[in-house]
A and B are shown apart, each in its own frame.
Chain A
Amino acid sequence: QSVLTQPPSASGTPGQSVTISCSGSNSNIVSYYVYWYQQLPGTAPKLLIYRNNQRPSGVPDRFSGSKSGTSGSLAISGLRSEDEGDYYCAAWDDSLSGPVFGGGTKLTVL
């Protein structure tokens, strides 16, 4: 059980928007940046969002991140079938003295 809690699943139809939450605590998200990773089926994770809301070059602006208090969020607009996969949040955790990942959210595009 991860210290960062994500919903196990999310879904939407093509063109819709979806938001994935990442709930943490005072020992992680409150004080540190949130990162988001996309893992498409059978592939390695890929950095999607860094430092709460920054997109690496090449990541479409359909993906956006935010943070408020003990939670981070990943919003995906204009859903596409190729967005199907698993999404993970990550942050530094003081209690564990190391980086932690959320349990992951499986996104289905219906």
Chain B
Amino acid sequence: EVQLLESGGGLVQPGGALRLSCATSGFTFSTFAMSWVRQAPGMGLEWISAVSSSGDSTYYADSVKGRFTISRDNSENTLYLRMNSLRGEDTAIYFCAKVGSTVVRNTSPYFDYWGHGTLVTVSS
């Protein structure tokens, strides 16, 4: 059974930093690209970052470029998101999502499994 489990969310002050983790199991992690998608309270879904299966290639939405860093540890089957210079508008539930195929682009919107999400609140 495929499982994605995010952790690391919490309350942080504006300008602060957090690192989110997404522990995975049930599939060959090292062969699939992964993404982070967030959802602000009462709002829709927003893709923010993706990483290739090897970790060599990373991609970001303009809203987080230069502030967030995606990475992965294929030996630990874990995805990460380092978030710096956090702003109020970064307040959201952050989901990790597995790309549904090994033959689509790394930033495909084809997500066949999602974690339950972890809440990040940026407030003073």
Contact with A along B54-71 (1 / 0, CB 8 A): 000001011000000000
Which one of B9-17, B41-49, B76-84 is at the interface? Answer: B41-49
* Residue contact A50 to B110, C-beta cutoff 8 Å: yes
| The residue from A44, A90, A96, A99 contacting B116, defined by CB atoms under 8 A apart | A44
Lowest 10 CB-CB distances: which A-B pairs, in order? A99-B109, A90-B109, A44-B114, A101-B45, A104-B44, A99-B47, A103-B44, A47-B112, A35-B109, A44-B116
* Residue contact B61 to A98, C-beta cutoff 8 Å: yes
* Residue contact B112 to A100, C-beta cutoff 8 Å: no
Q: Say whether B29 faces chain A, with CB atoms less than 8 Å apart.
A: no
Nearest opposing residue in chain A for B59, CB measure? A98
Nearest opposing residue in chain B for A56, CB measure? B112
A33 to B44, CA, bound (A): 20
Total count of chain B residues near the partner, CB < 8 A: 24
Q: Say whether A102 faces chain B, with CB atoms less than 8 Å apart.
A: yes
Within 8 A of B (CB), among A52-107: 56, 86, 88, 90-92, 96-104
Nearest opposing residue in chain B for A35, CB measure? B109
| Minimum CB–CB distance for A70 against chain B, Å | 16
* Residue contact A100 to B44, C-beta cutoff 8 Å: no
Give me the interface of A with B, judged by CB distance under 8 Å: 2, 33, 35, 37, 39, 43-47, 50-51, 56, 86, 88, 90-92, 96-104
* Residue contact B112 to A101, C-beta cutoff 8 Å: no
* Residue contact B115 to A44, C-beta cutoff 8 Å: yes
Interface centre among A37, A56, A99 (most CB of B within 10 A): A99
Nearest opposing residue in chain A for B47, CB measure? A99
A51 to B104, CA, bound (A): 11
Contact with A along B80-116 (1 / 0, CB 8 A): 0000000000000001000010000101111111111
| Minimum CB–CB distance for A57 against chain B, Å | 10
